[in-house]
Amino acid sequence: MSAPTDLDRRQFLQLTAATGGALVLGLQLAGCGPQPTVDAQGRFAPNAWIRIDPDDTVTLLVGHSEMGQGVLTALPMLIAEELEVDLAAVIVAFAPADRAYDNPMMFIQATGGSTSVMTSWEPLRQAGAAAREMLRAAAAMRWQVPVTECRAVAGAIHHDASGRKARYGELAADAARQPMPHKVALKAPEQFRLIGRDQPRLDALEKVTGRAQFGIDVDLPDLLTACIARPPAFGARLQEFDATAALAVPGVREVFAIPAGVAVLADGYWAARTGRDALVIQWAPPPAPAADSHEVSAALRALVARPGLRVRQDGTPQEVLAQAPQTLEAHYEVPLLAHATMEPMNATAWVHDGRCEVWAPTQNQGGARDTAAALTGLAVADVTVHTTHLGGGFGRRVANDFIAEAVSCALKTPHPVKVVWTREDDTRNDFYRPPVLHHLTAGLDGDGAPLAWQHRVAGPSIIAQAAPDLTPAALPNRAPRLVKNAVARGVALATGMIPDFVGFEGARENPYAIPNLRVEFATLRPYAVPLGFWRSVGHSHSAFAVESFIDELAAQGGEDPVAFRRRLLGNHPRHLAVLERVAQAGDWGTPLPPRQGRGIALHASFGSIVGEVAEVAVAPDGQVRVQRVVIAIDCGQVVNPLTVRAQMEGGMAYGLSAALFGAITMRDGAVAEGNFDGYRVLRMNEMPRVEVHIVESGAAPGGVGEPGTPPIAPAVCNAIFAATGVRIRRLPIDPALLKSA
C-alpha cells in the first residue's frame, strides 16, 4: 500500500540517535524555512536535490560524498524512482556544502556510518514525488484537465485522453509556481522500476577513462602546490626553521609556518616536495610522548584485569561465573590501523574577495565549511565547499585536518593553494583505529551450554578525542563562535567521563541467548595518538572477539560452530536466516584436505546482518592463503543489488587486509611505518574468490559500506583453527604461530 508521508522538515535532532542514549543533546535548527522553488539560474528547484531547466536538463544533486560506496548512483535512483525520469537522461552532480544536505544521523553534512541510504530512503523519494506532483499540477492547469488524468512517465507528463504530452522542461516554469504539496504518496515496493534492480554505476565511465576529478586533480589559475613538513612525533612543536635551501629549489615560491608545520609552496608537487626535503627544522620534543605499542599493550592488560564501566548486564553473570562447572577465558587484541586511502590526503583553498573557496575530497562538507570559516574569520555563508570524487574514504576523510592546512596556507598568499600529502605523510598523520584489548570469560554447564558471558573491552576513546572537533559544525550556522566553543568544551568534558560508545559497539549487542551476560568498557588515558573512525569502527574489533570466542565455546563443547550458533540465535530470525544461507552457500560441513579449513562468523552492524564463510589453506611455513569467501547479507530493503555485492566484496577485502597484515607501530612517539612496504595491504594475489548472497527480509534499509568488514577476521581465524587447531587471538595473524611441526 502507498502511504502518505509527512513532508515537514524535522526540526529537532537528537544526538541520542547515534549515541544509543549515552549523551543527549537536543538541537533546534533555525533558518530551515520553505525552499524557494526557483533557483538563481531560473531553474525549477522544488527542493535541495532537483533542478529542472527549461531546456529539459534534469539535474540531481547528491549531498553525500562518493568514495566508492556508490551513493552517486543509489541516491539518484531514489529520486528518479518517484520523479519518473530515466537515470540515463539526468545529470548527477555533487551538491555544495549547505545545511539542506545535513545527515540527520550525524547532524552535519557528512558521509559515514553507512547511513546514506538509510537516512535518504524516505526524504529523497519524497523529494522526487513532490516535484513530480508539481509538474503534474502544472500540466493539469495548462491543459485544464483533472490532475488525476496526468501521468508522469520518463521525464514527461502525458494526458492519455487527449494524447497530449509535455516534457518536464516545458513545464518547469509553471511547476515552480505550484504550491508545494504537504503530503505525497510513495510507491509500494511492487511498483518500483529502479529500486531493487542492478543499476551500473553512473560514474563508471569517467573512472575507467581517467576523467573523474579527484581532489588531487583540482587545478586553478595561478595555483601553488604545497608540501608540509609536519612534526616528527605526535605533540612535537616547531622551534625554528631555515628555508634558505628550500627557497633555492627552482619552482619554490614561498615558505612559511602554519599550525600544522612548515609549508613549502611551489609551482608544482615535485618542486614543493624537493623544497620540503631541503628544509632545516628544529622541533621541540613533545612534553608527553605517545607511548610505544608494547607499553600500550601492557597498559590494556592491566585495565582488563579489573572491572570497567558496565554497559550491559543481563542476569547475574558474576555469581554464575563463580559457580559454573567449567569456565573459559581468552584475550583478543588488535593494533592501531591506518586507513591508507589510495588518494593521499589533499585539499585546495583560495581566500579571495572576502570569500573562501575550498575544493576537497571530504566526507564532511559541514566540518570543512566550519573549519574554513573559523580559520578565516569569515561568515559561514562566505565559505563555499566544492566536493570532488574521493579516492577512498573509509572514515579518514571525516577529519578536517587537511582542510585546515589548505586554508591556513591560503590565508598567507593571494594564490589558490593545493596541499598534497606524500604517502608517508598519510600513513604517519592519520586518525587511527585504536588499539583495543578484549577480555572474555564464559561459564558453561556440564554439557557445554553457555551460562554466563563476561566481556571487558579496553582501549582509548575515539569519541573523547573527536567530539570536541565535530561538535561545532553540528550546531546552527548562526550560533556565535563563543557558544560553539563552550558547547565543544562541555562535550569534551562529558565524553571524557562516559564509556566510548563506539568502543564497545558490537560487543554490547551480543545476540546469543546467554542468560547471564555482562559487557564493560574501560578507557585508556591519557592517549596521545590521534584516533578516528575506521571502516566499521568498533565493530572492526568487537566482531573478532565475540565471533572468535563463540567459536571457542563451540569447540570446548565439541559442537559444530554453525549448530552451536543456531542453538543460541532462536530469538533472532534475521540472524538465523543469514547463518543458514551462508552455511549452505559456503558448503559448510563438506570435507577439505589437510591444513585447510572453513570458518564462519556472523555480525550485525549499521542496520544489516552479514555472515561470512572463509576457506583457508595454511602452508607448512605458516603462511595463510584465504582461497574463498562466501558472504550472505540481510540489509533490509535493497536499493542497488550491484552496489550491495560490490560493498560486500570490498568491505571484506578491507577487513582481510587488516587481519593478515594491518599494524601501525608506535615507536619513540611516532609511527614507524611509512609507505606500502612497511604498512602492507592486500594485493591481487592475496584476494580470495568471493560470492555474495542477498537475503531478503522486507526490513527497512540498512547500511552496506561497513557491515562486510567485521566478520572476515573471525571467519578467517576460525578457519585457521579448523585447519590447524591453533587459535589466533591477536591481529594481524602471525604466521610464526602456524608453522607445521
Partner 1 sequence: MMSFDLNGKSIEISADPQMPLLWALRENLGLKGTKFGCGMALCGACTVHLNGAPIRSCVTPLAAVAGQKVTTIEGLAGVELHPVQRVWLELDVPQCGYCQSGQVMSAVALLAGNPNPSDAEIDQAMSGNICRCGTYHRIRQAIHRAAALMQEG
Least gap, CB of 273 to partner 1 (angstroms): 8
Least gap, CB of 68 to partner 1 (angstroms): 3
User: CB atoms < 10 A from the CB of 470, how many?
Assistant: 24
- The site map against partner 1 for 615-654 (x = CB under 8 A) is ---------------------------x---x--xxxxxx
Least gap, CB of 397 to partner 1 (angstroms): 11
- The site map against partner 1 for 329-368 (x = CB under 8 A) is -----------xxxxx------------------------
Angle, helices 561-568 vs 573-585, to 10°: value is: 160
Asked if 631 and 648 touch (Cβ cutoff 8 Å), the reply is yes
**91 sits near partner 1 (criterion: CB under 8 A):** no
Selected from 67, 77, 83, 524, the binder of partner 1 by CB under 8 A is 67
Selected from 163, 210, 221, 591, the binder of partner 1 by CB under 8 A is 210
Least gap, CB of 359 to partner 1 (angstroms): 13
- Select 569 or 682, whichever has its Cβ closest to partner 1: 682
User: CA angle, 438 as apex, 434 and 440 as ends, to 5°?
Assistant: 170
Least gap, CB of 213 to partner 1 (angstroms): 8
**207 sits near partner 1 (criterion: CB under 8 A):** yes
Asked if 612 and 629 touch (Cβ cutoff 8 Å), the reply is yes
Dihedral (Cα; 699, 703, 709, 712), 10-degree rounding:
10
Residue 256 makes CB contacts below 8 A (sequence gap 6+) with 262, 263, 412
| Beta strands 689-694; 624-634: pairing state | parallel
User: Whole-angstrom Cα distance, residue 585 to residue 319?
Assistant: 41
Least gap, CB of 605 to partner 1 (angstroms): 17
**196 sits near partner 1 (criterion: CB under 8 A):** no
User: Whole-angstrom Cα distance, residue 65 to residue 69?
Assistant: 9
Asked if 257 and 408 touch (Cβ cutoff 8 Å), the reply is no
Q: What are phi and psi of 548, to 5 degrees?
A: -75, -45
- Select 551 or 706, whichever has its Cβ closest to partner 1: 706
User: Whole-angstrom Cα distance, residue 581 to residue 632?
Assistant: 7
- Select 78 or 224, whichever has its Cβ closest to partner 1: 224
Measured CA to CA in angstroms, residue 499 lies from 399, 435, 495, 541, 667 at distances of: 22, 16, 8, 16, 27
Selected from 99, 201, 369, 729, the binder of partner 1 by CB under 8 A is 201
Task: Write the single-letter amino acid at 150.
Answer: C
Measured CA to CA in angstroms, residue 37 lies from 48, 82, 131, 183 at distances of: 10, 18, 10, 17
Least gap, CB of 513 to partner 1 (angstroms): 34
**684 sits near partner 1 (criterion: CB under 8 A):** yes
Selected from 269, 585, 737, 739, the binder of partner 1 by CB under 8 A is 269
- What is the torsional sign of CA 709, 687, 342, 428? positive
**277 sits near partner 1 (criterion: CB under 8 A):** no
Beta bridge partners of 356: 351, 383
Report the Cα–Cα distance between both ends of the chain, in Å, rounded.
64
Q: How many CA atoms lie within 13 A of 349 on its CB side?
A: 31
The separation between CA 247 and the C-alpha centre of its own chain, rounded to angstroms, equals 40
Selected from 33, 209, 353, 725, the binder of partner 1 by CB under 8 A is 209
Selected from 31, 33, 677, 725, the binder of partner 1 by CB under 8 A is 677
Least gap, CB of 654 to partner 1 (angstroms): 6
**200 sits near partner 1 (criterion: CB under 8 A):** yes
Q: Which stretch binds partner 1 (CB under 8 A): 148-156, 392-400, 606-614, 665-673?
A: 392-400
- The site map against partner 1 for 41-60 (x = CB under 8 A) is --------------------
Least gap, CB of 385 to partner 1 (angstroms): 19
Residues lying near partner 1 in the complex (CB under 8 A) are found at 66-70, 200-201, 203-214, 216-217, 219, 225, 250-251, 268-271, 340-344, 389-394, 420, 422-423, 642, 646, 649-654, 657, 675-677, 681-685, 687-690
